[in-house]
Amino acid sequence: MASPKITVIGTGYLGATHAAAMAELGFDVLGLDISPEKIATLERGEAPMYEPGLDELLRKHVAGHEGASGRLRFTTSYAEVGEFGDVHFICVNTPQKHGEYACDMSYVDAAVESLAPHLTRPALVVGKSTVPVGSADRLAARLAELAPAGEEAELAWNPEFLREGFAVQDTLHPDRLVVGVRSERAEQLLREVYATPVAEGSPFIVTDFPTAELVKTSANSFLATKISFINAMAEVCEAADGDVVKLAEAIGHDDRIGKKFLRAGIGFGGGCLPKDIRAFMARAGELGASEALSFLREVDSINMRRRAQMVELTREAVGGSLLGKRVGVLGATFKPDSDDVRDSPALNVAGQLHLQGAQVTVYDPKGLENARAIFPTLGYADSAIGAVRGADVVLHLTEWREFKELDPAELGEAVATRHVLDGRNTLDPALWRKSGWTFRALGRPTA
């Protein structure tokens, strides 16, 4: 039997990566986005965001590029997608609703409703977006109602676990594949699609719809909890003059705890963890299970407190009032190797300082354009040295490698006062102190 033809609906972070990865695995792929600009960018072989390795993968496969496999094409037409595909991946985003905890399902609903009328022959629609548990059940009913193929147009749920900055690697070599299915046929089709990663060792876990949906939200909740746990320990270390970095290293040696995701600092941000734990709490409330997730409220508040503590440390560093003080900020994105500033703790701290009267200048290797777009009133510089020139205090807020490699002696020549605050706990205190800097970090002793 010929390989299934694949479509990917929504070509943002998840979709653009998934489409390119599917082409890399040897499938013919058609990507759809409602934004013609995004499609034009992808057709040029460029990712719509900064993601290491993705531009290369696109150029390797997007039709029309010299030497490309031609297996990857893009369109804005649902009719074309319906005609082309056997397996349709829904990769649109599910942001937090404005002013509410719940997640906004309108893009997923619109994708299913736009695609369904074009499904005239057997097809599998596979949801990858992060959704509240129960959504797949509801969408399956909607699909059966709207698709001319009726029951031959089936739904499956296959959550995605990729991390920004590692999206290509995580998609091609997933640490597990989870599929929620209702038929043998759906399972077989997905086994075919993922045959290569499964042959290379990725576990393939078959389950029902609600469990598949819950695996995703519970995994992100666990990660968020782990970060807030270590940040809570940072608060205690601050009170007791302990060192959270040593503490994390020491508890991480216990295999049951593990070393990863125990880096204390200004906390988690981005387009996933914060909104996912909130949407999970909102959904649990609807299901009458809010008590089960009440700890997530604490996880969220510990996380937000760390940003406030960074602002407080900055105020202390400049003598009690931020008014007119110059603050040099290193980092704007929510994590390194990304240009994403959505719910970025770094940008949030910079913004709070600005609103309290400080003169803030931000530098980030990849995030400046996005930061400027959402926070145009902050000052921006195109280098680390430019951001810290004349500064009364320097804040390290996103742990780009470039910042770890900075020469504190050289930076010291540019600032007004050698005072640095590490919000990510990746700078070496001894190195900075040696060059005459006053070094403070969240959850670490003052000297």
| 227 versus 282: smaller Cβ distance to ligand UGA | 227
With beta carbons less than 8 A apart as the criterion, state whether 262 and 248 touch: yes
Binding residues among 219-278 for ligand UGA as defined by CB under 6 A: 220, 223, 227, 261-263, 265, 267-270, 272-273
| 31 versus 443: smaller Cβ distance to ligand UGA | 443
Q: Under the phi-then-psi rule, with left for phi > 0, alpha for psi from -120 to 50, and beta for the rest, what region is 201?
A: left
| 267 versus 379: smaller Cβ distance to ligand UGA | 267
The verdict on whether residue 163 carries a ligand-binding annotation is yes
SS (H, E, C) the chain: CCCCCEEEECCCHHHHHHHHHHHHCCCCEEEECCCHHHHHHHHCCCCCCCCCCHHHHHHHHECCCCCCCCCEEEECCHHHHHHHCCEEEECCCCCECCCCCCECCHHHHHHHHHHHHHCCCCEEEEECCCCCCCHHHHHHHHHHHHCCCHHHEEEEECCCCCCCCCHHHHHHCCCCEEEECCCHHHHHHHHHHCHHHHHCCCCEEEECHHHHHHHHHHHHHHHHHHHHHHHHHHHHHHHHCCCHHHHHHHHHCCCCCCCCCCCCCCCCCCCCHHHHHHHHHHHHHHCCCHHHHHHHHHHHHHHHHHHHHHHHHHHHHCCCCCCCCEEEEECCCCCCCCCCCCCCHHHHHHHHHHHCCCEEEEECCCCHHHHHHHCCCCEECCCHHHHHCCCCEEEECCCCHHHHCCCHHHHHHHCCCCEEEECCCCCCHHHHHHCCCEEEECCCCCC
Q: Is 91 annotated in the active site?
A: no
The verdict on whether residue 275 carries a ligand-binding annotation is yes
Q: How many chain residues are in contact with ligand UGA, going by CB under 6 A?
A: 21
Binding residues among 184-203 for ligand UGA as defined by CB under 6 A: none
The Cα–Cα gap between 348 and 117 comes to 43
The verdict on whether residue 113 carries a ligand-binding annotation is no
Q: What is the contact mask toward ligand UGA in residues 62 to 101, using x (rule: CB under 6 A)?
A: ----------------------------------------
* Closest distance to ligand UGA from the beta carbon of 142 (Å): 24
* Closest distance to ligand UGA from the beta carbon of 151 (Å): 31
Which residue out of 91, 103, 237, 272 is catalytically annotated? 272
The Cα–Cα gap between 99 and 95 comes to 12
| 92 versus 227: smaller Cβ distance to ligand UGA | 227
* Closest distance to ligand UGA from the beta carbon of 183 (Å): 26
* Closest distance to ligand UGA from the beta carbon of 399 (Å): 7
The Cα–Cα gap between 197 and 204 comes to 9
| 162 versus 281: smaller Cβ distance to ligand UGA | 162
* Closest distance to ligand UGA from the beta carbon of 269 (Å): 4
| 48 versus 270: smaller Cβ distance to ligand UGA | 270
The verdict on whether residue 366 carries a ligand-binding annotation is no
The verdict on whether residue 94 carries a ligand-binding annotation is yes
* Closest distance to ligand UGA from the beta carbon of 52 (Å): 12
The verdict on whether residue 269 carries a ligand-binding annotation is yes
Q: Is residue 169 part of the contact set for ligand UGA (CB under 6 A)?
A: no
The verdict on whether residue 164 carries a ligand-binding annotation is yes
| 33 versus 337: smaller Cβ distance to ligand UGA | 337
Q: Is residue 164 part of the contact set for ligand UGA (CB under 6 A)?
A: yes
* Closest distance to ligand UGA from the beta carbon of 324 (Å): 30
Binding residues among 324-343 for ligand UGA as defined by CB under 6 A: 334-335
Q: Which residues are annotated as a binding site for NAD(+)?
A: 33, 38, 94, 130, 164, 275, 342
Residues interacting with ligand UGA, by CB under 6 A? 130, 160-164, 220, 223, 227, 261-263, 265, 267-270, 272-273, 334-335
Q: Which residues are annotated as a binding site for substrate?
A: 161-164, 216, 261-265, 269, 335
Q: Which residues are annotated as a binding site?
A: 33, 38, 94, 130, 161-164, 216, 261-265, 269, 275, 335, 342
The catalytic residues are: 272
